[in-house]
């Protein structure tokens, strides 16, 4: 596999650790998703992961499963999520990443997808069920447009795999804190720190830690060994619990984490 | 579709462009481990002997190839033989694969087993081998399937398995697989996922097929002995596609033998009313593999319907997708009504009540045999027995 190195590093982190906020787009609707994203950025989030709802989210826990179902009830599509990113880009220079399962991207066509992401001014993508071995065409199309390609690294990944993951990642590397699906946890596993240390041997890219981060204490703890923390299910839970007051509630939570 | 092919590489994990390994990174190491363990095991004479011994003394292999005389007479066409996988221990072909994977799990030192089940046949076979090997066993099953296959739920519990109901999506096989994968991604270090069909990420489609090849190997020898010639056609139902690939595989090289897979035509042609992937589907990725998939224009996976839980799945084993594209196998469908009718006919002509899944294959034989010469021979794979379906048969057939 021969992939050209990207010239630019599109995503910048505003705080340490930086906060990467995940939202399931279209939950409860696209206009509210836009408001939540902009309010989170105003509250200090460095990057927004624009989650694409999928019918079979097998890497997600119950909170994001429910959000995906809500978003799919009004047929939120990948195309609409990219449009949403375009709208957010008009109002903000924060990092924007598409976070999706592979099949909606295949359906759109990998080349069409990469083109649309670029046109929208979105910085890149993370595809949950696309390991490096299967990513040849995807990498080709994304590199051609200098888009960030973020891959997952897991505590179960061997050193050889971590090296490959580091080699093809652009923007940052996403370290999965523990084996399991997405969702808040009481304690951060020791796995996360070890994984980040192992990853640093292979990359100078920033490393973000995700899966299970829901409190200010956990957020700060991650900052001791990683560059950024991804908060997903906790935010999606707040959206579910605060109908009609989603953006304000999420912004408040983001400020608490960064405080 | 512009993106039918994601990769052009030809690899052992691909069937044409289909197959591959599309899973979250956390599972990649476990799939590598499984692939290595399987490659080593299949070259190990001791492993093969132990599996063969269990298939013989525990599962009841070889299964008979039975000439269905009264059915043949009634249809006035090709001579019909039935491969009697329904006579195996636990009532279906599923035990072939479960014994193989249980031996592998033992070699890998994984003593917690998880599985998904649709009709409950794979769940029962998994619960059975776990009892035999002393493994902990958790089976995921959609709550809709638990309702329509309640007898199998009880059988699994009797065998000591924990059955966890899955309430998401259409509450059927697909949703059970999602939940099993969530368990696996969490407990991957201690747990083996005993996947029950030729689906999922590499090496599952290849490994599960290998464990079922014995069906076709036996059938080939049996038909040569009985008729001194190869059959004109082999007919098998296709859900994920394990019984069909199992009986097809050793005949693939015999180009004159037609291989016919029968999908679930359900109750109509609209998306959501059937599970005929080759008639309404297009290439896509679901649950680890690239194959034909019933999906909408946004790439969301469609719901499916079939009277038989075991065929009620929106994707199909990637090797079948390869055989379809190459033209080596032909895929047709049978409706719910045709399957129910076939079930009744086989019961009354031969005294054999097939599983509703297998009844789809019988339905195709009923359509096809009368158009064939009497000198020709057809083998129908009776992949399971109908005991588990008595409740649904009672709901659907009025015999008073």
Check whether A10 has a pLDDT greater than 90. Answer: no
B255-297 confidence digits (pLDDT tens): 999 999 999 999 999 999 999 999 999 999 999 999 999 999 9
- Rounded to two decimals, the pTM is 0.95
Ranking A188-192, A199-203, B148-152 by mean pLDDT, the lowest is: A188-192
The one catalytic residue among A4, A35, A60, A134: A60
Task: Give the pLDDT confidence score for residue A188 in this predicted structure.
Answer: 67
Instruction: Tell me the average pLDDT across B336-353.
Output: 98
A179 interfacial to chain B (CB closer than 8 Å): yes
B82 bridge partner residues: B66, B380
Q: Is the model's pLDDT at B121 over the cut of 90?
A: yes
Which residues 155-174 in chain B show a CB within 8 A of chain A? 168-169, 174
Q: CA B362 to CA B354: how far, in whole Å? A: 9
Chain A nearest-CA residue for B301: A55
Structure tokens given for B44: 């190990």
- Give the one of A57, A106, A112 whose C-beta lies nearest to B299's C-beta: A106
Query: Is residue B398 very low, low, confident or very high in pLDDT (cuts 50, 70, 90)?
Result: confident
Element (H, E) at A197: helix A190-200
**Rounded distance, CA B120 to CA B107, Å?**
26
Tens digit of pLDDT for each residue in A86-135?
A: 999 999 999 999 999 999 999 999 999 999 999 999 999 999 999 999 99
- Whether chain A has a CB inside 8 Å of the CB on B199: the answer is no
Q: Which fold has domain A19-258?
A: TIM Barrel (3.20.20)
Q: Which residues on B lie below 8 Å from A151 (Cβ)?
A: 25
Q: Give ∠ CA A138-B301-B14 in degrees, rounded to 5.
A: 50
pLDDT score for A189: 67
Q: Which pLDDT does position B1 carry in this prediction?
A: 36
Mean pLDDT of A53-82: 97
Interface-testing mutation among A76, A155, A179, A182, with chain B (most B C-beta atoms within 10 A)? A179
Give me the count of residues in chain B.
Answer: 400
Q: Hey, is the C-beta of A109 within 8 angstroms of any chain B C-beta?
A: yes
Q: pLDDT, tens digit, for every residue of B61-108? A: 999 999 999 999 999 999 999 999 999 999 999 999 999 999 999 999
């Amino acid at each position: 596999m021969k992939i050209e190195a990207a010239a630019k590093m599109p995503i910048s982190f505003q705080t340490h650790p930086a906060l990467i906020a995940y939202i399931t787009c279209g939950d409860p609707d696209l206009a509210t998703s836009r408001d939540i994203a902009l309010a989170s950025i105003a509250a200090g989030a460095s990057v927004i992961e624009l989650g694409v709802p999928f019918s079979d989210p097998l890497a997600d826990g119950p909170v994001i499963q429910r959000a995906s179902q809500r978003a799919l009830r009004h047929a939120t599509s990948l195309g609409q999520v990219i449009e949403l990113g375009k709208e957010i880009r008009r109002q903000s220079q924060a990092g924007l990443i598409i976070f999706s399962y592979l099949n909606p991207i295949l359906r759109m066509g990998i080349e069409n997808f990469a083109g649309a992401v670029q046109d929208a001014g979105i910085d890149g993508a993370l595809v949950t069920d696309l390991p490096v071995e299967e990513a040849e065409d995807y990498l080709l199309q994304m590199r051609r447009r200098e888009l960030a390609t973020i891959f997952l690294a897991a505590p179960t990944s061997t050193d050889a795999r971590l090296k490959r993951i580091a080699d093809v990642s652009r923007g940052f590397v996403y370290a999965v804190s523990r084996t399991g699906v997405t969702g808040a946890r009481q304690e951060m596993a020791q796995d996360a720190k070890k994984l980040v240390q192992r990853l640093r041997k292979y990359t100078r890219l920033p490393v973000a830690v995700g899966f299970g981060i829901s409190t200010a204490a956990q957020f700060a703890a991650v900052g001791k060994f990683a560059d950024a923390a991804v908060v997903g299910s906790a935010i999606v839970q707040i959206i579910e619990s605060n109908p009609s007051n989603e953006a304000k509630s999420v912004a408040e939570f983001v400020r608490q984490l960064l405080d | 579709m512009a993106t039918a092919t994601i990769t052009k590489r030809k690899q052992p994990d691909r069937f044409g462009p289909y197959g591959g390994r599309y899973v979250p990174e956390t599972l990649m190491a476990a799939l590598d481990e499984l692939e290595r363990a399987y490659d080593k095991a299949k070259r190990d004479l001791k492993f093969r002997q132990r599996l063969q011994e269990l298939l013989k003394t525990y599962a009841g292999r070889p299964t008979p190839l039975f000439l269905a005389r009264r059915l043949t007479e009634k249809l006035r066409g090709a001579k019909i033989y039935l491969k009697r996988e329904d006579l195996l221990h636990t009532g279906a072909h599923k035990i072939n694969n479960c014994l193989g994977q249980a031996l592998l799990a033992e070699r890998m030192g994984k003593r917690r087993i998880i599985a998904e089940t649709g009709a409950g046949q794979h769940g029962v076979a998994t619960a059975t081998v776990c009892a035999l090997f002393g493994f902990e066993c958790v089976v995921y099953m959609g709550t809709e399937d638990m309702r329509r296959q309640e007898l199998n739920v009880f059988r699994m519990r009797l065998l000591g398995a924990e059955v966890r109901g899955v309430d998401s999506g259409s509450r059927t096989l697909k949703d059970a697989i999602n939940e099993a994968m969530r368990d696996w991604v969490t407990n991957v270090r201690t747990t083996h996922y005993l996947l029950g069909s030729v689906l999922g990420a590499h090496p599952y489609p290849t490994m599960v097929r290998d464990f079922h090849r014995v069906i076709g190997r036996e059938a080939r020898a049996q038909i040569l002995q009985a008729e001194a010639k190869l059959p004109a056609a082999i007919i098998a139902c296709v859900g994920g596609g394990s019984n069909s690939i199992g009986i097809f595989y050793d005949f693939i090289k015999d180009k004159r033998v037609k291989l016919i897979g029968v999908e679930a035509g359900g109750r109509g042609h609209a998306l959501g009313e059937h599970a005929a992937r080759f008639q309404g589907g297009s290439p896509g990725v679901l649950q680890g593999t690239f194959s034909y998939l019933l999906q909408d224009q946004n790439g969301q996976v469609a719901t499916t319907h079939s009277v038989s839980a075991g065929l009620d799945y929106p994707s199909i084993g990637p090797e079948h997708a390869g055989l379809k594209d190459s033209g080596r196998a032909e895929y047709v469908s049978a409706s719910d009504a045709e399957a129910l009718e076939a079930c009744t006919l086989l019961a009354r002509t031969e005294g054999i009540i097939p599983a509703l899944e297998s009844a789809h294959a019988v339905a195709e034989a009923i359509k096809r045999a009368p158009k064939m010469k009497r000198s020709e021979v057809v083998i129908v794979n009776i992949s399971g027995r109908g005991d588990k379906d008595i409740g649904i048969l009672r709901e659907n057939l009025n015999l008073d």
